[in-house]
Structure formats: structure tokens, C-alpha cells
């Protein structure tokens, strides 16, 4: 199991090794062709000018066919190499990101609940989108050292034709450019790059929060305050992005200054050689230094990449390995922390009742793995909950929460969260057991009807029943329902309770129910009453089943 972004990236580099190798080779060929093209062009122009100045005989003796053919060949090769480097480099990066994003999502969904639930939708989106995009540079720029190395090697070979002095000048200029570029990037680009990543998360978080509260903001005439709050985050992002652009401009100035000084120095060192060779050396120096552009851009983006890595590693914190899971085909009895511990046999139906705030919902959330604190006394099949794998714990429960959350999608999309491979007939049966099949059958599209943003096209009671139907589809030994009939009228509530009773009798599924309404309690054969400091278990005289 992958526990850090670095290990994810390393794994993807291994998987994309061939494609990354092709990108590096293409980058090296590109740099080599660019330098040879510029050097040959400079020599050709200078030599042609010298021949023209030498008179008609020199012009007639000058062979312009071979240099011009070489220039055309190098131009074609450079174009092909540039296309190959972009194609291979971005293909490797996109293929890697296509693996990294699902891995991050799985880490969020299956990791520590306190980490996943602490992230807002805006912040989670920023990490899965912008932060992962920032990691792309770790793949696309892998070819940059190869391009810089090939550019330097070719540049040294050409400047050596003008003597060792010009070659030494190029070598010193390349070292100066890389060292000063690294230092300048740390000073002007690292912190702004990190700030951009954090600011994007803050902006998305703010927008998502205020959009969710849109109706309330309108009712209380708070739109201006909401816009002002969002704009605060937007201005923070704008300032950071402006600083990043300023840093890029300074890096461009640095490269231009070093290249200009290097070309002048090479010309000075080559003052005793023929003019065509001096021109070749000077132009080769400029293009060789341009070959380091990829490394300079990598320096610029190091801050953003490191901040993205930090933020993503927070999502990838590994779980401690549990000791064991019970036999998946063994009993599914539960133990709850009541007195010395109450053991519930498979198929039992138990209601958790008590005043608001006494811990009913929290006990359910601990039991099904949404909370990891205070697990003492909770067990499945006799095994302490704290020692069980999260996957096993979650497989034991189908959960209908008090706050019915729906996907922005269709009825079918929302139902198949409970059972992705459920058949059409199973989907309709779950809707019927939740008392919702008649309503869905009247919608345009039926199961494919669009529910709107978070289910906005449905009423509160319809959203709750759709959430219940989703829970009913999950093939788990225990059904856990938190206020399943809240917000329903008496007639609809009676229908839902009757159909739930029929389903439980048919499937033998156990039930843990939290409700402040008396009608749903008829589903249960026992009641667990919580008061905040103590709990008691008793069997009501009118218990069902």
C-alpha cells in the first residue's frame, strides 16, 4: 500500500520508464539539433559574407549547397524531436496523473476518517486537481537534465572548433546560469509557488461553502458580505500569482543577461580565429544556454511542487495495520459498550434512543468506522473494533445517515453508490422498500432522472428516502439508520415503516436504529436507552418481530 506521494511518483516513473526515456532522448536530440542548426547557420552566413567580400572567384568557389541542405535537415529533425519530446513527456505525465488521482481518492475514502472528514469539498477538490497538476512538473521536466546535458555537450564541441578559450567560457557561463538560477528561484519563486497552492484551496473552500449556503445568504441579504469574503481569497491568490509571474520575468532576465555576456566573452576569446568560426562559437553558446531553460523552469516550480507534495502527503498518511479480521463467513454479532457490554446476535433489531446530544449518532459513527476515537467496548464477531481492518468493518454495515447527502447526478447514480452492480430490478425494489418507487416512476427519465445539485430537485423527504433506498441496496449484515423518517408525513412514514419491516423479515438483516419519533421504534425488538452517562437495555412489550 502506497503511503506517500514520493512512492506514488516513483512507482509511476517505473511504469512510464519507456515513455520517459523516449522523451529524454527526444529532448537530447532537440537540443543537439538546435545547437548544430544555429551554429551551422551562423557559420554559413558569415562564410557567405566573407566569400562575397572576396570577389567573384571566391563566390563561385563557395559551396552553398551542402550547408543549406544541412540546415534544412537539422530544421526538420529539430521539429520532429520537439514534437516527440512533447508527445512522450506529456503522455507519461498524463498517464501517471490518471493513476495518482484515483490513488489519492482511495486514500481519502479508505483512510482515517478524521483526516478525510476534516477536508471540505473545496479543499478536497483543490488537492485532487490543482495539487496533482503541480506534480505534473515532476514528470514533464524529467527530460530537462538530458536536454541541458546534450546542449552543453554539443555547445562545447562546436566552441572547441574556435579554440579551448571559447569552450571554457561556455562551461563557466552554464555553471553560473544554473547556480544563480537555482538561488534566484529559491528567493523569488519558492514561497509564491507554495502560496498559490494554498490560496487555490482557500478560494475553492470559500466558494463551495458560500454556494452551499446560497438560499440563506439571499434570505438574510448577505450576498455582498459573501462576495467580499470570496474576493479576499481571490485577492490572496492573485497576489501570489503576480509574484510567481514576477519571478518568471526575473529568471528570463537572468538567462538573457548571462547569455549576452557569455556570447560577448566567447567572441572576445575567439578574436584570433576566422570570423565564421567565431560566429559559430558565439551562436552555439547562446543556444547551449537556452538548453538549460527546462531546468530553470523546474527551479521556478519547485516551490509549488513541494507545497503540493506536503498537502497530498497529508491525505496519504497510512493507517496502522490492524492485527486481523474475523472469518468473513463467520458470525456477525455485535458488542456495544453498555454496562459490561451487550452482545447483539445477527439479525437483531435494536433502537438507540435518548435525549439529543447523548451520543447516539456518535456511537453509530464509531461502530461503522467514521470515528476512530473511543472504540473501547465495540466489537464485531468478538474481535475489538480497534483491531479490525477498515474494509472489513465497513463491509458489515449499510448506513442511512441523518443528513442525506446525494450526488449531483441521476437517481441511478445515487442508488448505485450502495451497489454498483445492482440490476434494474434491484434498484426498483430498493425504491419500493423506501416508499419512493411511485414518485420516481413519474419523473421524466425514471431512474435516469436528474436530481440536481446535491438533490435540489427533490424534496427533503424524497432525498431522505433515496438515501434509505441506497442503504437498502448494500448487501451488509447490519442496516444502520439514523432518523430515517424525519421530515415525512404520517402516511408516508407508516408506508416506509411497513415496507422496512417486510424487507427485514425477508432478508434477516440486523437493524440499528436511531429515532426521536415513536413510530419507527415498532421495527425494533429491543431498545438501548442512552442518557449521556449511562445506558440500559430492555425489551418493550409492544416490540415487533
Across the chain, mean pLDDT equals 84
Tens of pLDDT, residue by residue over 137-151, are: 767 667 788 888 888
pLDDT (0 to 100) of residue 381: 87
Q: What do you get for the CA distance between the two ends of the chain, in Å?
A: 44
Is pLDDT above 70 for 320? Answer: no
pLDDT (0 to 100) of residue 236: 93
Tens of pLDDT, residue by residue over 414-442, are: 999 999 999 999 999 999 999 999 999 99
pLDDT (0 to 100) of residue 330: 47
Domain ranges of the chain: 5-315, 334-538
The mean pLDDT of 341-345, rounded to a whole number, is 87
Greater confidence, 346 or 539? 346
Is pLDDT above 80 for 363? Answer: yes
Do 135 and 312 meet the contact criterion of CB atoms below 8 Å apart?
A: yes
Is pLDDT above 90 for 354? Answer: no
Q: How far is CA 386 from the centre of its chain?
A: 29
Burial class (CB in 10 A: 0-12, 13-18, 19+), 388: buried
pLDDT (0 to 100) of residue 194: 87
Distance in angstroms (rounded) separating the CA atoms of residues 67 and 233: 58
Tens of pLDDT, residue by residue over 98-135, are: 888 887 777 777 766 766 666 667 677 777 777 777 77
Pairing label, strands 334-336, 342-344:
antiparallel
334-538, superfamily in CATH?
A: P-loop containing nucleotide triphosphate hydrolases (3.40.50.300)
Tens of pLDDT, residue by residue over 182-226, are: 999 999 988 998 888 888 888 888 888 888 788 888 888 888 999
pLDDT (0 to 100) of residue 318: 53
User: What residues are paired with 512 via a beta bridge?
Assistant: 350, 480
The mean pLDDT of 484-510, rounded to a whole number, is 93
Tens of pLDDT, residue by residue over 49-64, are: 777 777 777 667 667 7
Confidence class for position 451, pLDDT limits 50, 70, 90: very high
Give the list of residues 6+ apart from residue 266 with CB closer than 8 angstroms, or none: 159, 162, 166, 169, 170, 278, 281, 282, 285
pLDDT (0 to 100) of residue 198: 84
| DSSP-H helix ranges across 368-423 | 390-395, 411-415
Give the list of residues 6+ apart from residue 481 with CB closer than 8 angstroms, or none: 399, 400, 468, 471, 511, 512, 513, 514, 515, 520
Distance in angstroms (rounded) separating the CA atoms of residues 338 and 343: 9
Tens of pLDDT, residue by residue over 369-422, are: 888 888 888 999 888 988 888 778 888 999 999 888 898 899 999 999 999 999
Architecture of domain 5-315: Up-down Bundle (1.20)
Kindly state the percentage of the chain with pLDDT values over 90.
35
Q: Strands (DSSP E) along 357-490, which ranges?
A: 379-380, 383-384, 397-400, 478-482
Q: Do domains 5-315 and 334-538 have the same CATH topology?
A: no
Tens of pLDDT, residue by residue over 234-288, are: 999 999 999 999 999 999 999 999 999 999 999 999 988 888 888 888 888 888 8
Distance in angstroms (rounded) separating the CA atoms of residues 147 and 159: 18
Do 20 and 142 meet the contact criterion of CB atoms below 8 Å apart?
A: yes
Lowest-pLDDT range of 56-65, 169-178, 277-286, 295-304: 56-65
Q: What's the whole-model pTM score?
A: 0.67
Is pLDDT above 90 for 27? Answer: no
The mean pLDDT of 448-464, rounded to a whole number, is 90
Confidence class for position 71, pLDDT limits 50, 70, 90: confident
Give the list of residues 6+ apart from residue 470 with CB closer than 8 angstroms, or none: 400, 414, 415, 417, 418, 430
Confidence class for position 1, pLDDT limits 50, 70, 90: very low
**CB atoms < 10 A from the CB of 231, how many?**
13
The mean pLDDT of 331-348, rounded to a whole number, is 82
pLDDT (0 to 100) of residue 173: 94
Distance in angstroms (rounded) separating the CA atoms of residues 416 and 474: 9
pLDDT (0 to 100) of residue 310: 79
Is pLDDT above 60 for 291? Answer: yes
The mean pLDDT of 324-335, rounded to a whole number, is 62
pLDDT (0 to 100) of residue 95: 85
Here the cell at position 50 is 566573407
CA dihedral 477, 479, 480, 482 (to 10 degrees): 180
pLDDT (0 to 100) of residue 542: 39
Amino acid at each position: 500500500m502506497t503511503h506517500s506521494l514520493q512512492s506514488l511518483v516513483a512507482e509511476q516513473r517505473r511504469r512510464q520508464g519507456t515513455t520517459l526515456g523516449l522523451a529524454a532522448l527526444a529532448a537530447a536530440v532537440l537540443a543537439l539539433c538546435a545547437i548544430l542548426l544555429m551554429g551551422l547557420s551562423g557559420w554559413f552566413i558569415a562564410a557567405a559574407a566573407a566569400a562575397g567580400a572576396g570577389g567573384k572567384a571566391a563566390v563561385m568557389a563557395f559551396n552553398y549547397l551542402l550547408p543549406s541542405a544541412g540546415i534544412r535537415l537539422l530544421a526538420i529533425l529539430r521539429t520532429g524531436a520537439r514534437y516527440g519530446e512533447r508527445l512522450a513527456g506529456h503522455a507519461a505525465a498524463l498517464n501517471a496523473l490518471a493513476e495518482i488521482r484515483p490513488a489519492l481518492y482511495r486514500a481519502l475514502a479508505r483512510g482515517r476518517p478524521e483526516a478525510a472528514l476534516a477536508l471540505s469539498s473545496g479543499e478536497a477538490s483543490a488537492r485532487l486537481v490543482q495539487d496533482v497538476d503541480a506534480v505534473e512538473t515532476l514528470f514533464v521536466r524529467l527530460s530537462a537534465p538530458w536536454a541541458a546535458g546534450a546542449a552543453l555537450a554539443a555547445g562545447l564541441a562546436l566552441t572547441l572548433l574556435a579554440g579551448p578559450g571559447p569552450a571554457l567560457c561556455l562551461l563557466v557561463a552554464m555553471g553560473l546560469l544554473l547556480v544563480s538560477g537555482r538561488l534566484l528561484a529559491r528567493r523569488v519563486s519558492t514561497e509564491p509557488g507554495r502560496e498559490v497552492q494554498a490560496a487555490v484551496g482557500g478560494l475553492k473552500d470559500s466558494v463551495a461553502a458560500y454556494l452551499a449556503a446560497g438560499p440563506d445568504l439571499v434570505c438574510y441579504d448577505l450576498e455582498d458580505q459573501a462576495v467580499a469574503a470570496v474576493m479576499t481569497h481571490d485577492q490572496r491568490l492573485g497576489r501570489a500569482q503576480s509574484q510567481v509571474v514576477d519571478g518568471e520575468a526575473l529568471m528570463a532576465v537572468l538567462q538573457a543577461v548571462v547569455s549576452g555576456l557569455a556570447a560577448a566573452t566567447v567572441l572576445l576569446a575567439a578574436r584570433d580565429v576566422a570570423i565564421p568560426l567565431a560566429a559559430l562559437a558565439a551562436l552555439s553558446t547562446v543556444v547551449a544556454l537556452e538548453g538549460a531553460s527546462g531546468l530553470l523552469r523546474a527551479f521556478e516550480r519547485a516551490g509549488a511542487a513541494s507545497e503540493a507534495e506536503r498537502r497530498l502527503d497529508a491525505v496519504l498518511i497510512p493507517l496502522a495495520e490492524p492485527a486481523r479480521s474475523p472469518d468473513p463467513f463467520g458470525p456477525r454479532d455485535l458488542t456495544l459498550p453498555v454496562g459490561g457490554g451487550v452482545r447483539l446476535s445477527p439479525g437483531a433489531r435494536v433502537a438507540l434512543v435518548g435525549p439529543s446530544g447523548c451520543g447516539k449518532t456518535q456511537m453509530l459513527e464509531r461502530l461503522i468506522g467514521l470515528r476512530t476515537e473511543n472504540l473501547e467496548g465495540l466489537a464485531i464477531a468478538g474481535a475489538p473494533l480497534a483491531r479490525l481492518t477498515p474494509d472489513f468493518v465497513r463491509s458489515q454495515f449499510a448506513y442511512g445517515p441523518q443528513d442525506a447527502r446525494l450526488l449531483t447526478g441521476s437517481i441511478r447514480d445515487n442508488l448505485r453508490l450502495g451497489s454498483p452492480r445492482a440490476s434494474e430490478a434491484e434498484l426498483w425494489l430498493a425504491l419500493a422498500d423506501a416508499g419512493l418507487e411511485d414518485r420516481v416512476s413519474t419523473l421524466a427519465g425514471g431512474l435516469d432522472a436528474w436530481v440536481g445539485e446535491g438533490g435540489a430537485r427533490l424534496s427533503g423527504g424524497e432525498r431522505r428516502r433515496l438515501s434509505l433506498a441506497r442503504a437498502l441496496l448494500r448487501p451488509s449484515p447490519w442496516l444502520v439508520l439514523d432518523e430515517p423518517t424525519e421530515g415525512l408525513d404520517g402516511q408516508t412514514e407508516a408506508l416506509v415503516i411497513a415496507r422496512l419491516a417486510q424487507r427485514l423479515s425477508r432478508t434477516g438483516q440486523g437493524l440499528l436504529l436511531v429515532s426521536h419519533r415513536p413510530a419507527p421504534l415498532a421495527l425494533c425488538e429491543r431498545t438501548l436507552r442512552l442518557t449521556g452517562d449511562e445506558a440500559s437495555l430492555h425489551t418493550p412489550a409492544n416490540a415487533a418481530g
